[in-house]
Amino acid sequence: MTPAGPGRQMYALVERLYPLCRSITGDGVRATLDIVGEYLPLQIHEVPTGTQVLDWTVPQEWNIRDAYIADSTGRRVVDFAASSLHVLGYSVPVSATMPLAELRPHLYTLPDQPDLVPYRTSYYKPDWGFCLAQNTLDALPDGDYEVRIDSTLADGHLTYAEHVIPGQVPDEVIISCHVCHPSLANDNLAGIAVATYLARALAEQTPYYTYRFIYAPGTIGAITWLARNAERIEQVAHGLVLACAGDTGRLTYKQSRRGDAEIDQVMRHVLAASERPHEITEFTPYGYDERQYCSPGFNLGVGSLSRTPYAGYPEYHTSADNLDFVSPEAMADTLAACREAFTLLDRNRSYLNLSPYGEPQLGRRGLYDALGGRSDTKQAQMAMLWVLSLSDGDHSLLDVAERAGLPFDTVAAAADALRGAGLIKA
């Protein structure tokens, strides 16, 4: 991994987004999308509280201005201003003075990681609380504490955004990332940054597929998008969820529920061919929003790409998932893997041999002459023969490459030459 320019730029975007308090609704999501909107034109969607979305209902909107626990001297021993992780997400407003014994049931810590602050939420059950380091809690003396959470929970909207890159065909590839977590750099500010720079890179090309980037709160956001797009879901040909894209662990690809989707084959091939350290895992109905896109009613071919997967590192959902935990090099490597995958996906076609009875004479069509002087002449010749042999409408170029044990680029170049000579058609 090298700290290429995009890596540094993605890290700078993560730095900008890190201080914002995000949740599944609210001004923190809007502020996040406003910043992303400086990098990409976004279509913002506001879905009102109470809207039925599949089996769910859009919840009330949550916003917070301040929160703290202060001791008898007025010193803030826990302060939302220091970190948005300090407040239980979706806490209802509180203004009271109470003894430590009464406060304790509302305090969340990590006894096994006593220096770290946990990330906790209570989205769908009215509650309030604070998150703090176990060491901080252990140092609090008995006595009365002022408790203040200046928040609102009221009818409003759920906010999500889309960015679309038109392709040569209307069939879509969706790239989805969640925008609901507060100050957690890897989960998922790195995913947001990689998605944003992937979109910028694709916009510089003329892709074959139409690419739709979805920035939405986890679970409820993806469910809302699916509910609002159910009538056009058949246009989604492929998809990828991006999360935990910035730590130094090896790349991990979680396959779609189907397991045989084209995106699964592409990601397996790209990661293996690149010789990157990586892991391929089977689908499970737990994780990020791939489980929504892959739910049996939709059954989309959507996988998930991360580095160390969710809950797979001790910093996960803690204050240690900070700006020091992610790196420009790791984000640049994740971006490069995505670009390689979608370049291959865009070129992967199935063809029909237009001269299927016996082997066509390649020499009189100048196809062998066109290979003269190439260092891989024999490999290129074999690629032509393999493409002709498997151009039956049932095999893609990636199928050919894997069956023949040849590089995909060599096979794709052979297909281009054969198509130019009128021997195959898409």
- List residues forming the annotated binding site for Zn(2+): 181, 187, 317
Conformational region of residue 40, where left means phi above 0, alpha means psi within -120 to 50, and beta covers everything else: beta
**Would you list which residues are annotated within the binding site?**
181, 187, 317
Q: Are 172 and 240 in contact (CB under 8 A)?
A: no
Tell me which DSSP letter residue 209 carries.
S
Conformational region of residue 54, where left means phi above 0, alpha means psi within -120 to 50, and beta covers everything else: left
What distance in Å separates the CA atoms of residue 132 and residue 120, rounded to the nearest whole number? 11
- Amino acid, single-letter form, for residue 323: L
Tell me which DSSP letter residue 371 carries.
G
Structure tokens at 276: 């990157």
What distance in Å separates the CA atoms of residue 213 and residue 97, rounded to the nearest whole number? 46
- The DSSP-derived string for 139-188 is TPPSSEEEEEEEEEEES-EEEEEEEEE--SSS-EEEEEEE---SS-IIII
